[in-house]
Chains A and B, each alone.
Chain A
């Protein structure tokens, strides 16, 4: 197992804020919109430096998405910011008609996704957003794993012409990817090479998968660990090549089983190379109040859950 060092502890939303600020300086067409959560989305620095390109929409997410579609029509590159729940479920039809069907170059940037939002509870902990967004034709769906990857993804999506859903989170989290990485949409990151099992992971659970890989290595199980930061378009080639080698897979994500990364992997494998899969994800349940760490344990999203899933899936080979 390759050694992955923790460089720092930072929230992924701050990676978004840093990426947006850099974009403000390099791309005059980038516009920021926020629905009364500027501090939470870490958009303050962009707002301060580019007040004429920052739009405070108030607590009115539907109008924010519609205006973003209008700004994109006018040649701007709008980045909307609010919590993941209000970025997707609350405005699904606005995204569907005014953004996705209309093919608008809108970047929907969503913080506080998943149970690691913590104490606010299930009203705010959306676990369905990846599924909602990946169902929309033409929508790109990205869920980066740490501060550096989020920053790089934020910068990269400005150069892509089309609608993008960028999902990140609230808590401080290990930073372990390279600070000046080049982010390529749809190109998976091969973290560790192994032949025993494939582990496909996204978002906060990438760090958990790496820790699981270390435990498995001590048990003599070398896992092929692949970070799927772009859930759509999926890196089919990387997934199929890995499973051709390992013959089984575990998926890990902070999302419902229904509609998430695991679901995409299962579909791809069923159509091309049926192989046993175990999914580490939330199983048809809402979240609840608690600390992020407590919730990850209770909802089965911990390192140990990935290790156990590997053991189960290897028996099914």
Chain B
């Protein structure tokens, strides 16, 4: 793969995306900063480096394009910022997040026709099935491109995921790369306490998937692992990447706890957060 950006350039984009996230959530005093910050490196890597797609004009079907499906829709701020910073829609529209008459709904939706969003998500556990369906349509069309699907770790408690995990392996859906954001946190506490997942790679492997580890907050490792995932795809098995992240990554006081899953920073906290995140592309 010929690199479009250096790792440093991608890290700079991720810094701007993190600024966008805390500013968007602060502006409406609602939203989910923790998981969004944790997944910033992944989404920047996908939308700015790894995925082969046409940012404009947006085409819903996406023939001959790599496609990303966000199953854990509550981390919509990172999706919106990553897409806007990639030129899919105007960066200025980030200012409308969660406001009346916005295309940037609290959870991603196709209903308002925001470019780049292909399915509504928010009610958890549905994205992997949708991604599998898109992967099947690509297979029927002899389209060689990939489908990526991000899920939360707590989200794996939803049973529908396991229907899709079983189906994709049985049907050799090998143009599908699932990524689980393994931050170990969910709303009521740690995943270990709420519903222990034990070793998720063992579970996926038992279902017939290939698995990989990734350090989701190390840009070089993210880019490298996604490239490797692609090279082991297409051989009869779907691929699962266990992505270790820190909820709140990039903002020290938001890290290491589930407390920042779904609350917004106040003015002082915003200033503190922004001081830790260099403005690299200009705030919206």
Does A65 make an interface contact (CB < 8 A)? yes
Decide if B163 touches A76 in the complex (CB within 8 Å).
Answer: no
Cβ of A52: which chain B residues have Cβ within 8 Å of it? Answer: 140
Bound-complex Cα distance A102 to B122 (A): 12
Chain A nearest CB, measured from B104 CB (Å):
16
* Chain A positions 58 through 89: 1 when the CB is less than 8 Å from some CB of chain B, otherwise 0: 10101101111111111110100000000000
Does A283 make an interface contact (CB < 8 A)? no
Does B164 make an interface contact (CB < 8 A)? yes
Decide if A74 touches B120 in the complex (CB within 8 Å).
Answer: no
Cβ of A96: which chain B residues have Cβ within 8 Å of it? Answer: 123
Cβ of A103: which chain B residues have Cβ within 8 Å of it? Answer: 110-111
Bound-complex Cα distance A67 to B141 (A): 16
Does B223 make an interface contact (CB < 8 A)? no
Cβ of A62: which chain B residues have Cβ within 8 Å of it? Answer: 125-126, 129, 159-160, 163
Bound-complex Cα distance A73 to B58 (A): 13
Does B133 make an interface contact (CB < 8 A)? yes
With A67-B136, A103-B110 given, is the CB distance from A73 to B126 under 8 Å?
no
Does A172 make an interface contact (CB < 8 A)? no
Bound-complex Cα distance A58 to B167 (A): 8
Among residues 76 to 110 in chain A, which have CB atoms less than 8 Å away from a CB atom of chain B?
A: 76, 78, 93-94, 96-98, 101-104
With A93-B123, A101-B111 given, is the CB distance from A70 to B135 under 8 Å?
yes
Decide if A55 touches B129 in the complex (CB within 8 Å).
Answer: no
Does A187 make an interface contact (CB < 8 A)? no
Bound-complex Cα distance A29 to B118 (A): 19
Decide if A73 touches B129 in the complex (CB within 8 Å).
Answer: no
Contact of A67 among B111, B130, B159, B170 (CB under 8 A): B130
* Chain B positions 23 through 54: 1 when the CB is less than 8 Å from some CB of chain A, otherwise 0: 00000000000000000000000000000000
* Chain B positions 102 through 134: 1 when the CB is less than 8 Å from some CB of chain A, otherwise 0: 000000011100000011111101111111111
Decide if A75 touches B133 in the complex (CB within 8 Å).
Answer: no
Chain A nearest CB, measured from B73 CB (Å):
9
Does B166 make an interface contact (CB < 8 A)? yes
Decide if B110 touches A63 in the complex (CB within 8 Å).
Answer: no
Chain B nearest CB, measured from A20 CB (Å):
17
> Is the contact region of chain A dominated by helix, strand, or loop, or is it mixed?
helix
Looking at chain B, what size class is its interface with the partner chain? 35 or more
Does A57 make an interface contact (CB < 8 A)? yes
Chain A nearest CB, measured from B5 CB (Å):
28
Identify the interface centre among B125, B126, B170: most chain A CB within 10 Å of its CB: B126
B122: nearest chain-A partner, CB-CB? A97
Identify the interface centre among B120, B123, B166: most chain A CB within 10 Å of its CB: B120
| Number of A-B residue pairs with CB-CB distance less than 8 Å in the complex they form | 116
Cβ of B132: which chain A residues have Cβ within 8 Å of it? Answer: 63, 66-67, 70
Decide if A97 touches B134 in the complex (CB within 8 Å).
Answer: no
Decide if B136 touches A70 in the complex (CB within 8 Å).
Answer: yes
Among residues 167 to 214 in chain A, which have CB atoms less than 8 Å away from a CB atom of chain B?
A: none
Decide if A73 touches B167 in the complex (CB within 8 Å).
Answer: no
Contact of B167 among A63, A78, A98 (CB under 8 A): A63
Decide if B136 touches A74 in the complex (CB within 8 Å).
Answer: yes
Does B62 make an interface contact (CB < 8 A)? yes
Decide if B134 touches A70 in the complex (CB within 8 Å).
Answer: yes
Contact of A66 among B62, B160, B171 (CB under 8 A): B160
Bound-complex Cα distance A73 to B120 (A): 12
Cβ of A104: which chain B residues have Cβ within 8 Å of it? Answer: 119
B60: nearest chain-A partner, CB-CB? A73
Identify the interface centre among B110, B118, B132, B134: most chain A CB within 10 Å of its CB: B134
Does A53 make an interface contact (CB < 8 A)? yes
Decide if A70 touches B123 in the complex (CB within 8 Å).
Answer: no
Decide if A97 touches B126 in the complex (CB within 8 Å).
Answer: yes
Does B218 make an interface contact (CB < 8 A)? no
B129: nearest chain-A partner, CB-CB? A66
Chain B nearest CB, measured from A312 CB (Å):
44
What 5 pairs across the A-B complex have the smallest Cβ distances? A70-B133, A66-B129, A74-B137, A67-B133, A63-B163
6 additional contacts (CB under 8 A) given A70-B131, A101-B111: A55-B136, A63-B163, A68-B133, A74-B141, A97-B126, A98-B126
